[in-house]
Structure formats: structure tokens, C-alpha cells
């Protein structure tokens, strides 16, 4: 049986959002153990023109909730990008998981060829559901998830590939 659109999108994003939550817990423990101001981790950047950790979490959240909504033919919920602390980022992740879990397979599967339009600075972009997931939603989501991981790793948080893959 082929993989469904829900399986290659929402079902893939939920564990990675949970993994991000676990990484944030490890970042808090690192900050406490090393007597580092947690704000320095939340505001850490890989380059001046890139989002800080908070922005990476917000962008991963936006990618996940937008994917679920667009595939289901809905408008993505708006979450203001105001998180400045680890508890606020954890709440953002939890809200994102709750929303995308509410969009079930029946709302997405079978929409592989449905039109998905996303706004862009250069005009709207149109995809099929399948092309949107494979060429836009997943690459964007994983870019921000990976960048968040990289920021924490660079800051000295003791995490590795097993943490990213969420295997024991």
C-alpha cells in the first residue's frame, strides 16, 4: 500500500516537533548547569541574517500548521511570533502539535492533486498537494528544525544525532 499524504506530512512532523520540545528541555538543563542566561540560547543565531532559535521554532511551527491547514483546504491558524522564553517556545510547540493532530487523515488523504496556493512576496505560488508537501512544506519544516538543533549544538547543549532522530 502506498504512503498517504497524511503519513508523509503530518505524521512525519509530529514526532519532530516532540523532538524539538525535548531538545528545548535539554537546553534549559544546560543553561542551569552551566549558569548560562537562557535568553542567550533563545536569541542565538548562526548568522546575523538568520532567525534566532526562537524564530527557528516559530518557523517550524508555521511550516507544520500551514501544511496541515493548506492540505485540508483550510486557513492556517495565526500564532503571533512573540515567544521569548523556553516555556513560551514549549507552549508554541504544544499548540502546534494540538492543531496538526486535529487535522486527520480523512481531511488530507486523497488531496494529492488538489490545488494548494501559498502567498509569496513575488505573487501566489500554486502546487498540487503532493508537490507542495514534497517540494515546499517538508524542506521548509526540516530546514528550521535542523537549524534549531544546530543552534543548540553550537551553544554547547549536549545533544547528538540520536537526539535529532529521537532514538534511544
Sequence-distant (≥ 6) Cβ neighbours of residue 75 within 8 angstroms: 69
Three-state helix/strand/coil letters over 138-163 = HHHHHHHHHHHHHHHHHCCCCCCHHH
Answer whether residue 30 shows pLDDT above 70: yes
**Which residue from 48, 153, 137 is spatially nearest to 100, judged by alpha carbons?**
137
| Overall pTM surpassing 0.85 (yes/no) | yes
Coil, helix or strand at residue 116:
strand
Q: Tell me: the pLDDT tens digits for 66-85?
A: 999 999 999 999 999 999 99
- In the chain the domains, ranked by start, together with CATH numbers, are 10-165 (1.20.120.450)
Q: Tell me: the pLDDT tens digits for 86-96?
A: 999 999 999 99
CB distance 5 to 130 below 8 Å:
yes
b/e code 60-92 from CB counts within 10 Å (16+ = b)? bbbbbbbbbbbbbeeebeebeeebeebeebbeb
Which pLDDT does position 168 carry in this prediction?
59
**Which residue from 94, 100, 97 is spatially nearest to 72, judged by alpha carbons?**
100
Mean pLDDT, residues 117-131 taken together:
93
Amino acid at each position: 500500500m502506498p504512503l498517504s499524504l497524511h503519513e508523509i506530512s503530518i505524521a512525519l512532523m509530529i514526532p519532530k516537533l516532540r523532538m524539538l520540545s525535548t531538545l528545548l528541555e535539554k537546553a534549559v538543563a544546560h543553561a542551569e548547569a552551566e549558569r548560562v542566561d537562557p535568553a542567550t540560547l533563545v536569541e542565538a543565531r548562526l548568522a546575523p541574517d538568520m532567525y534566532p532559535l526562537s524564530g527557528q521554532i516559530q518557523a517550524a511551527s508555521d511550516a507544520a500548521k500551514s501544511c496541515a491547514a493548506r492540505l485540508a483546504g483550510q486557513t492556517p491558524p495565526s500564532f503571533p511570533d512573540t515567544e521569548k522564553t523556553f516555556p513560551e517556545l514549549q507552549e508554541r510547540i504544544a499548540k502546534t502539535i494540538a492543531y496538526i493532530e486535529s487535522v486527520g487523515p480523512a481531511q488530507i488523504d486523497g488531496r494529492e492533486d488538489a490545488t494548494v496556493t501559498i502567498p509569496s512576496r513575488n505573487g501566489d505560488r500554486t502546487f498540487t498537494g503532493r508537490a507542495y508537501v514534497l517540494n515546499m512544506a517538508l524542506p521548509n519544516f526540516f530546514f528550521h528544525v535542523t537549524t534549531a538543533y544546530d543552534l543548540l549544538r553550537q551553544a554547547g547543549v549536549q545533544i547528538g544525532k540520536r537526539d535529532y532522530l529521537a532514538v534511544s
